[in-house]
Chains A and B, each alone.
Chain A
Amino acid sequence: GENVEQHPSTLSVQEGDSAVIKCTYSDSASNYFPWYKQELGKRPQLIIDIRSNVGEKKDQRIAVTLNKTAKHFSLHITETQPEDSAVYFCAANAGGTSYGKLTFGQGTILTVHP
């Protein structure tokens, strides 16, 4: 089955700096890669996603890049703010007949210091 590795496990930045979180996946049939943000005590919230037919997607201060050949994708947050502090999870779907199933990375605890 799919295996998703996420790095780093913790990331500490100063307000205004950029943050990058990287994930690799194993199933070459995967074609959907969402990112979720989970604040303490809250549900995971979808913040951005990318499909395998594009290499990059942006939404204001966040962007995701995908390299299908290398089987890795990354989340980029620019001009970080203290409210960006949370746990971020990447995920990949299971291709083929396992429609809709997501496998999650281990998570990255992002701390933005004011």
Chain B
Amino acid sequence: SAVISQKPSRDICQRGTSLTIQCQVDSQVTMMFWYRQQPGQSLTLIATANQGSEATYESGFVIDKFPISRPNLTFSTLTVSNMSPEDSSIYLCSVGTGSTDTQYFGPGTRLTVL
């Protein structure tokens, strides 16, 4: 499977600021996704990062709050904007390869907002 890295691995931020999380894959992948995992909870899909076009957001998530870029088939960024303590979560990217729905996750970014 692809090797997936995320930066930063963790961060502590002040409310009202923004943080950009990077996801890098060592090979070209068809699909890239961004998930949120709140403390002790399951994984919730934020959006599908589409290469060369705007991301597709799930219900409850909007572009102004979570802008996403995907400039090529190996890289994507998720920005958490105007953060509040409720945004404290683990943010994970995942990638899908080929023609299957199989997804592999990056190591995650643990975000704490004070």
- A residues with CB within 8 A of B: 1, 32, 34, 36, 42-46, 49, 89, 93, 99-107
Contacts and interface: CB of A to CB of B under 8 A. Distances in A.
Contacts of A1: 59
A34 B105 CA distance: 13
Contacts of B107: 42-43
8 contacts: A43-B105, A100-B31, A101-B48, A104-B42, A104-B43, A104-B44, A106-B41, A106-B42
Interface residues of B, number: 21
Contact of B45 (A43, A49, A89, A102): A102
Interface string B25-39: 000001101000000
A42 to B, nearest CB: 8
B101 interface: yes
A102 B100 CA distance: 12
B100 to A, nearest CB: 7
B4 to A, nearest CB: 8
B96 interface: yes
B31 A107 contact: no
Contacts of A46: 102-104
A93 B45 contact: no
Contacts of B48: 100-101
A68 B48 CA distance: 27
A34 B42 contact: no
B105 A93 contact: no
Contacts of A103: 45
B42 A32 contact: no
Which one of A34, A36, A43, A45 has the highest number of Cβ atoms from chain B below 10 Å of its Cβ? A43
A108 to B, nearest CB: 10
Contact of A100 (B42, B101, B104, B105): B101
A42 B105 CA distance: 10
